[in-house]
Amino acid sequence: MAPARLELARGGAAVTTRQPDRDRLWKANREVQVLVVEDDSAIGEPLATGLRREGFEVMLVQSAAAALSAPPADLVLLDLGLPDAHGFEVCRQLRARSTVPIIIVTARDDETDRVVGLELGADDYVVKPFGFRELVARIRAVLRRSAAQPSATSGPQVIGELEIDRRTHRVLLAGEEVQLTPKEYDLLALLALDPGAMVTRREILAEVWDPHWYGTSKTVDVHIASLRKKLGDPKWIETSRGVGFRLAVPQ
Ligand code: CA
């Protein structure tokens, strides 16, 4: 992944999500244990409070030692400047024993730090000061990516007549291969992570394009239209006007 993709935009647009969608996100977040490793309580406390408000289960620790002895989490937000050890050491040790997604948080926008962090196995990297909404979007994206990792034993996902093989990126419809562009594939794979669930335009732009996409969301419409065409039935992808899209099995 190119370092440029990992910079956190500042002052991103506010997210407006409708209530049913908020509820869905809240329910999805609720199962998730986030370990926040941050020694500066002026940052850690409001961050923990904000994440709890989003529905996450949060444990806040203030040292490397506490981070390494904490119960297993589903995701780690890791500050690099800790009082008892460098965050990289925590990252290295966590990664040595688990595949828990790790997002490094640092005050320094330093490319070397970024590269080292990613080489040590961090999944993403945010630079202070960061926007809270952006961070939550990052967390959700990292969690989704880690949930979508194909395991050696998992076969293609089957949804009605549609088969999606995440290992090979091949898509079959009624046994026939559907030729998709990489973006069309990513878009379909994203919608298929939770068939029937609404995925907002913002989520689509953040995950299929770039977390800091400032272009027009018309791009999404264009790709949805071509995906529908290739799937042979527009009913595969339902539109919720002004909100987003969901994958549905045509009846
Ligand atoms: Ca610190």
Backbone phi and psi for residue 123, each to the nearest 5 degrees, phi listed first: -95, -25
Q: Which two tokens stand for residue 93?
A: 């040790």
Given the structure tokens 């640092």, which residue do they identify? 106
Is the pLDDT at 196 greater than 90, yes or no?
no
- Contact between 190 and 169 under an 8 Å Cβ cutoff? The reply is no
Separation of CA 49 and ligand 1 centre (Å)? 18
Work out the average pLDDT over 7-28. 42
Residue 34's pLDDT is 95
Separation of CA 40 and ligand 1 centre (Å)? 6
Instruction: Answer positive or negative: Cα dihedral of 225, 229, 233, 237.
Output: negative
Residue 166's pLDDT is 81
Separation of CA 44 and ligand 1 centre (Å)? 9
Is the pLDDT at 209 greater than 90, yes or no?
no
Work out the average pLDDT over 196-216. 78
Give tens-digit pLDDT for 64-88. 999 999 988 999 999 999 999 999 9
Whole-angstrom CA distances from 183 to 101, 177, 189, 211, 219 are 24, 16, 10, 15, 11
pTM of the model: 0.55
The rounded mean pLDDT for the chain is 82
Work out the average pLDDT over 193-201. 85
Separation of CA 184 and ligand 1 centre (Å)? 40
User: Which ranges constitute the DSSP H helices of 105-160?
Assistant: 111-119, 132-148
Separation of CA 41 and ligand 1 centre (Å)? 9
Give tens-digit pLDDT for 114-154. 778 888 889 988 888 888 888 998 898 888 877 765 544 45
Longest dimension (CA), the chain: 59
DSSP class of residue 3?
Answer: G
Whole-angstrom CA distances from 211 to 50, 208, 235 are 20, 9, 28
Separation of CA 207 and ligand 1 centre (Å)? 28
Separation of CA 213 and ligand 1 centre (Å)? 29
C-alpha to C-alpha distance for 26 and 18, rounded to whole angstroms: 12
C-alpha to C-alpha distance for 230 and 226, rounded to whole angstroms: 6
Give tens-digit pLDDT for 25-79. 554 555 789 999 999 999 999 999 999 998 899 999 999 999 999 988 999 999 9
Residue 231's Cβ-count burial label (10 Å; 0-12, 13-18, 19+) is: buried
Instruction: List the Cα angle 83/57/151 in 5-degree steps.
Output: 95
| Domains of the chain with CATH codes | 6-148 (3.40.50.2300), 157-247 (1.10.10.10)
Separation of CA 83 and ligand 1 centre (Å)? 7
Instruction: Answer positive or negative: Cα dihedral of 20, 26, 28, 30.
Output: negative
Task: Please give the single-letter amino acid code of residue 230.
Answer: K
Work out the average pLDDT over 235-245. 91
Instruction: List the Cα angle 220/129/90 in 5-degree steps.
Output: 100
Separation of CA 130 and ligand 1 centre (Å)? 14
Taking the CA atoms of residue 86, residue 146, residue 23 and residue 191 in that order, the dihedral angle to the nearest 10 degrees is 140
Is the pLDDT at 174 greater than 70, yes or no?
yes
Separation of CA 10 and ligand 1 centre (Å)? 20
Given the structure tokens 């490793």, which residue do they identify? 37
Separation of CA 81 and ligand 1 centre (Å)? 4
Work out the average pLDDT over 20-26. 50
Backbone phi and psi for residue 127, each to the nearest 5 degrees, phi listed first: -110, 130
Separation of CA 137 and ligand 1 centre (Å)? 22
